[in-house]
A and B are shown apart, each in its own frame.
Chain A
């Protein structure tokens, strides 16, 4: 359990790179999947889940401040589900995707919270009552804690719940989820091809 808590901490730190610190892409799913895969004992499983997640997330770009779902958390959660809760890779991938989508609601709330606090913080900055560095540090810590809390819910509630039913999942659901997992790279590769063509459409 201590190992898993540490892995969640690493995942939360990597997630910060998505928006708040760095943007050097250590939060991209291929990297997060591989790192969490390595830490949890199966690097190649993490690499595959990371690549598949990244392919399916290609449509989401953080342009102009939109709040996309978290690819970092999707890939990280998927690896955790597969490695710690015994889910087959195709179920783990699905849970990861749902986790990333769910986190976008948490993320929106965190952004709203910062927006609500903004007038007060701006006032303090304008009067030299605080410094921008201090404000950012506090905000990063809050963000980190929120991501970590989200992951704790995943590993203490969602993971065990899925883990307990995984052996009872009917065979036809295995086939269905395996099938849809099988098509993910092809959906993604088509998207990848389109991402390189952005010419205006004709009238």
Chain B
């Protein structure tokens, strides 16, 4: 692919003009424009037609969009050689490839990046903080804790997400450019379901460790008195309530706000 790095860098602005109507269309045109200028050099009318085409609705996951962008550059190269009825036919195919690759990549990306890697990177941060004995859950924030562990936790929260995201972004661009319908424009080069499944199991194990360790460090110094029992009961109640709220599709932020109001009322009445 010509100017692959330049196109890759432009991909970071895919959502630069996000709008409700055609979502990432302006960002997509921005990414495609250097390729369009190269492909249609000296052919202004067809270049403008290509620009119009590339302004149609586009929506994908930022880290996975390469799986559509590479394929679309390849399609433009094919379109440049067509005219008349053949061009119309190829444009129909172009629309199908664009929608299919973008939606499939988005669906995989939402599951892999937003729903798995992002929370997993947060869990890793917790693990690093606990290993470094940074007690981030204590009510009085202590400033005399390990700054190194805290910085490593921050780095972990960024790297665990970004290393795969940045690699897949580039790999998607290259694989889909070289790909075809037979290999789903490079999407079958990785076993996404297995990857997501593995990361989810890893996440479950680590988050269970985090929960139990957090309970341990939070209450290790507490004696068995009514106040400690009340606190642990309250904590357990909110753990269960949180799960229940999730089943009702109510975001946890509203559980927190409701708890604040209920506690305030209770405090007034007590």
Check whether chain A touches chain B (CB < 8 angstroms): yes
Report which A residues bind B (CB closer than 8 A).
19-26, 28, 30-31, 34, 42-45, 47-48, 51, 54-65, 69, 89, 94, 97, 101, 111-112, 114-115, 118, 121-122, 125-128, 131-133, 135-136, 139-140, 172-173, 175-198
CB distance B136 to A47 under 8 Å?
yes
Considering the complex, give the chain B residue whose CB is closest to the CB of A191. Answer: B252
A-B contact pairs, 26 of them (CB 8 A): A22-B12, A24-B158, A25-B158, A30-B125, A30-B154, A47-B150, A48-B141, A59-B252, A59-B253, A60-B253, A65-B23, A97-B256, A115-B19, A121-B17, A136-B30, A139-B17, A173-B267, A180-B259, A181-B139, A183-B238, A188-B242, A189-B210, A189-B239, A192-B122, A195-B119, A198-B115
Q: How far is the CA of A186 from the CA of B147 in the complex (A)?
A: 24
Q: Given that A21-B16, A197-B204 are known contacts, is A186 also in contact with B122, CB under 8 Å in the complex?
A: no
Which residues of chain A are within 8 angstroms of B257 by Cβ–Cβ distance?
97
Which residues of chain A are within 8 angstroms of B125 by Cβ–Cβ distance?
30, 51
CB of B263 to closest CB in A, whole Å: 4
Task: Add 16 more A-B contacts to A47-B150, A126-B55, A194-B246 (CB < 8 A).
Answer: A23-B62, A24-B158, A30-B153, A45-B141, A54-B122, A59-B252, A61-B115, A121-B17, A121-B26, A135-B26, A173-B267, A175-B267, A179-B234, A187-B239, A194-B243, A196-B201
* 7 closest Cβ pairs, A-B complex: A172-B267, A136-B16, A176-B263, A132-B30, A190-B242, A196-B203, A59-B251
Q: Given that A43-B147, A196-B207 are known contacts, is A122 also in contact with B161, CB under 8 Å in the complex?
A: no
Which residues of chain B are within 8 angstroms of A192 by Cβ–Cβ distance?
119, 122-123, 207, 210
CB distance A20 to B251 under 8 Å?
no
Q: How far is the CA of A26 from the CA of B55 in the complex (A)?
A: 29
CB distance A25 to B118 under 8 Å?
yes
Q: How far is the CA of A62 from the CA of B61 in the complex (A)?
A: 10
Report which B residues bind A (CB closer than 8 A).
12-13, 15-23, 26-27, 29-30, 33, 48, 51-52, 55, 59, 62-63, 106, 110-111, 114-116, 118-123, 125-126, 134, 136-137, 139, 141-143, 145, 147, 150, 153-154, 157-158, 161-162, 165-166, 200-201, 203-204, 207-208, 210-211, 214, 231, 234-235, 238-243, 246, 251-253, 255-257, 259-260, 263-264, 266-268, 270
Main secondary structure of the interface of A (DSSP, over half): helix
CB of B197 to closest CB in A, whole Å: 10
Which residues of chain A are within 8 angstroms of B118 by Cβ–Cβ distance?
25, 28
**Between A and B, how many residue pairs show CB distances below 8 Å?**
235
CB of A170 to closest CB in B, whole Å: 8
CB distance A44 to B142 under 8 Å?
yes
Which residues of chain B are within 8 angstroms of A189 by Cβ–Cβ distance?
207, 210-211, 214, 239
CB distance A176 to B266 under 8 Å?
yes
Q: How far is the CA of A73 from the CA of B234 in the complex (A)?
A: 29
CB distance B17 to A191 under 8 Å?
no
Which residues of chain A are within 8 angstroms of B48 by Cβ–Cβ distance?
126-128
Which residues of chain A are within 8 angstroms of B30 by Cβ–Cβ distance?
132-133, 135-136
Q: How far is the CA of A44 from the CA of B111 in the complex (A)?
A: 31
Considering the complex, give the chain B residue whose CB is closest to the CB of A61. Answer: B114
